[in-house]
A and B are shown apart, each in its own frame.
Chain A
Amino acid sequence: MRRTATLWGATISVTVAVTGAALFAQAPARFGFGRPATPQEIAAIDIDVMPDGRGLPPGRGTSAEGAVIYAAKCAQCHGKTGTEGPNDILVGREPRTGFQFAQNPKLPHTIGNYWPYATTVFDYVRRAMPPTAPGSLTDDEVYALTAFLLHANELIAVDAVMDQSTLARVVMPARQYFVPESRPAPPKPRP
């Protein structure tokens, strides 16, 4: 019996080895699942804007136009002038020098003192604001609100027009202070 069992065992091992090689076939270069995306369906949801302005749509807006929209759709959460809350405080340049957020954790992170890119304001407002009707603002309205918030933070002139070519050129004061991941690899202590 033992001899037979051993033989059986050997036979099974050989069989597994052979079929095993067949079962673990090399994955194909492509599976062919899914379907090609059409330019129209990409355009319909490709709403992101990059710091260099890629993705900004046609349209335009000024601070004066934005002030009207802000009062109607934003002030209830962010305050009359963007400094009152109760939600994120959007306006404020203090401290004027340095970047003292670690020393003073109570400092609000506003667009004027903390946001490193102006394009992010457009991108975020367009995709997520106002929370009661996200995605409801027209591109002109988003440009206007962006202009209003940048002007309130003393970053653009009162009559500046924000559009595809001007917005990405706005230099944010906080830009110079942002650095990418810089922690040493563990096991070193990691700030």
Chain B
Amino acid sequence: MKVTRRDLLAGAAGAVVLGKTTRAQTRTPVDPTKVRGTPTSAMGQRARTATPQRLVRGNISSTPHQDLMGIITPSDLHFERHHAGVPEIDPANYSLLIHGMVDRPMVFSLADLKRFPSVSRIHFLECSGNLGRVAGPETTPGLLAGLTSTSEWTGVKLATLLKEVGVQPKATWLLAEGSDAAVLTRSVPMAKALDDALIAYGQNGEAIRPEQGYPARLFLPGWEGNASVKWLRRIEVSDAPFMTREETSKYTEPFANGTARMFSFQMDARSLITYPAFPNTLEPGWVEIKGIAWTGAGKIRRVEVSTNGGATWAAAELQEPVLSMAHTRFRHLWNWTGGEAVIMSRAVDGTGYVQPTRAELLKLRGPGTAIYHMNPITGWVVQATGNVIYKQEPWG
């Protein structure tokens, strides 16, 4: 039987639709030890049968955590959130202007940015609205919390550039502005800018992807993603926040006491079981529960897993190295003997902060459904059939 590449691709697509791998396997045409393989190539490709995809919903696409391993998100699966699409920027024409309350307003080309001392750091980036809002039983980990991803970011410390231009003593805030069609702007406190903010031009060993801000972006470790302005074209140093649309009309949290909070930057500790989850089906026996945990407060200290709806908790194993403000992989062995079970995880960060339940969060905030900065414990129901579905608390 002659099998073409088209057949193989169709087989792979069929496997995705059916949620099984058997069809692709049966289509594998030859004994690979009897046919010379493909030659070397200038650019590698994924295996034909490995087809992870972002879940695209309008101007958002989510990382498919259910398909991933380890802590680094492949760059082409890093989540996206754009406000006016992905701009196409010629790196030869790119420049970053820094002005305002500085001694020397300056323009830096991409080549200039790369001449400065560089740093590389592995950090998560999470959208502050990272909780699936219409989460029914058929919710995957990527749909539930796919707006967080981890990359190794390379760039120049913003503090280095601010020293170069000479920030004036009265400066307390800066405006970061993108060169997308939204010309998106956010105000950033000077303390963060001088602490660990980066102007990043590298992602996982190569140039930042266009969706992540090519050729250069602001990166604020541990803070809500929207503030890490992509396609950065301008920084204006000032003595007050600018009160842009993205920090007033959006990305603010109303409370039951009749106030709305602005500038809630830091992302709190959270964990997510990525296996087993919808749409997995389990067979009785040993199951390695796997997931990721992260916190904008620093390192994850502990992740606890419950397999009985929260009645008891056990410490999961953390994969070393545990990095600050990066996804941390956890694992927990569980012998599923059949019968319905609710599995959950909760993160504890280096400060001792414990990931809250949804009820605890809403009690603190008010009864309405909050959009931003929601980090509740999430659970999956393993049904007696072995099918795993999502269920929002309460689970009892």
Residues of A within 8 A of B (CB): 27, 29-31, 33-37, 41-42, 45-52, 98-105, 109, 111, 114-117, 119-120, 123-124, 127-128, 131, 134-135, 174, 177-183, 185-191
Shortest Cβ-Cβ A-B pairs, 4 listed: A102-B366, A186-B353, A101-B254, A191-B364
Shortest Cβ distance from A124 into B: residue: B245
- Name the residue on B nearest A128 (C-beta): B182
Contact check, B368 vs A181: say whether CB atoms are below 8 A apart.
no
Known: A131-B84, A190-B268, A191-B364. A178 touches B252 (CB 8 A): yes
Flag if B236 contacts A187 (CB, 8 Å): no
Residues of the B chain whose Cβ atoms lie less than 8 Å from the Cβ of A45: 97, 177, 233-234
Contact digits for B244-283, partner A, Cβ 8 Å, 1 yes 0 no: 1100110010111011111111001100000000000000
- Chain B, residue nearest A134 (CB): B181
Are the CB atoms of A120 and B249 closer together than 8 Å?
A: yes
Determine the chain B residues whose CB is within 8 A of the CB of A188 once the complex forms.
353
Given contacts A46-B236, A181-B262, 9 further A-B contacts (CB under 8 A): A34-B109, A34-B112, A37-B105, A37-B107, A46-B234, A51-B242, A102-B366, A128-B182, A131-B181
Residues of B within 8 A of A185 (CB): 351
- Whether the pair B254, A120 counts as a contact (CB closer than 8 A) is no
* Distance to closest chain A CB from B158 (angstroms): 14
B76 at the interface (CB under 8 A from A): no
Instruction: Mark out the residues of chain B between 350 and 375 whose CB falls within 8 Å of any chain A CB in the assembled complex.
Output: 351-354, 356, 360-361, 364-371
Number of A-B contacts (CB under 8 A): 175
Chain A residues lying within 8 Å of B334, measured Cβ to Cβ, are none
Q: What secondary structure prevails in chain B residues at the interface with A? A: loop
Closest B residue, CB atoms, query A126: B183
A41 shortest CB reach to chain B, Å:
7
Task: Closest B residue to A101 by CB, please name it.
Answer: B254
Q: Which of B116, B242, B265, B367 contacts A102 (CB 8 A)?
A: B367
| Nearest Cβ on chain B to A89's Cβ, whole angstroms | 11
**Which residues of chain A come closer than 8 Å to B361, judged between CB atoms?**
191
Chain B hits for A123, CB < 8 A: 185, 242, 244-245
> Among B106, B115, B175, B351, which residue has its beta carbon within 8 angstroms of that of A36?
B106
CB of A163, distance to nearest CB on chain B (Å): 19
Does A99 lie within 8 Å of B254, measured CB to CB?
yes
The interface residues of chain A lying within 8 Å CB-to-CB of B354 are 187
Q: How far apart sit A114 and B261, CA to CA, in the bound complex (Å)?
A: 12
**Contacts A34-B112, A46-B236, A179-B261 given: A102-B256 contact, CB under 8 Å?**
yes
**B contacts, CB < 8 Å to A:** 83-84, 97-99, 104-109, 112, 115-117, 160, 163-164, 175, 177, 181-185, 233-234, 236, 238, 240, 242-245, 248-249, 252, 254-256, 258-265, 268-269, 297, 349, 351-354, 356, 360-361, 364-371
Q: Does A37 lie within 8 Å of B181, measured CB to CB?
A: no
Measured CB to CB, the closest approach of chain B to A182, in angstroms, equals 6
Residues of A within 8 Å of B353, CB to CB, are 186-188, 190
CB-based contact B105/A33 at 8 Å: no
Query: Is the CB–CB distance between A48 and B236 below 8 Å?
Result: yes
A31 and B181 form a contact (CB under 8 A) = no
Q: Which residues of B contact A174 (CB under 8 A)?
A: 260
Residues on the B chain within 8 Å of A109, using CB: 249
B163, B242, B243, B354: most-surrounded residue (chain A CB, <10 A): B243
Q: Please name the residue on chain B nearest to A114 by beta carbon.
A: B249
Q: Are A103 and B262 in contact (CB under 8 A)?
A: no
Residues of A within 8 A of B365 (CB): 102, 191
CA distance in complex: A104, B181 (Å): 32
Q: What CA separation (Å) do A27 and B161 show in the bound complex? A: 13
Complex Cα–Cα for A189 and B97 (A): 40
Q: Could you tell me if B105 and A191 are in contact, using CB atoms closer than 8 angstroms?
A: no
The reply to whether B106 and A34 form a contact with Cβ atoms under 8 Å apart is yes
Contact (Cβ within 8 A) B185 A48: yes
Most buried by B among A48, A99, A100, A131: A48
Given A103-B256, A105-B369, A182-B261 contact (CB < 8 Å) = yes
A174 CA to B351 CA, complexed, in Å: 35
- CA distance in complex: A98, B177 (Å): 33
Which residues on the A side are within 8 Å of B245 (C-beta)? 120, 123-124, 128
B109: chain A residues at CB < 8 Å are: 34
The residues of A that contact B236 with a CB separation of less than 8 Å are 46, 48
Min CB gap B143→A, angstroms: 20
Residue of B nearest to A191 (CB): B364
Check A115–B107 contact: CB distance below 8 A: no
B262 surroundings in chain A (CB, below 8 A): 178-181
Asked whether, in the complex, the Cβ of B84 is within 8 Å of the Cβ of A117, the reply is no
22 A–B pairs (Cβ distance < 8 Å), ordered by A: A30-B163, A31-B164, A33-B112, A33-B116, A36-B107, A37-B99, A37-B106, A47-B183, A48-B185, A101-B368, A105-B370, A120-B245, A123-B242, A124-B244, A124-B249, A127-B182, A127-B183, A127-B185, A128-B181, A134-B84, A179-B262, A188-B353
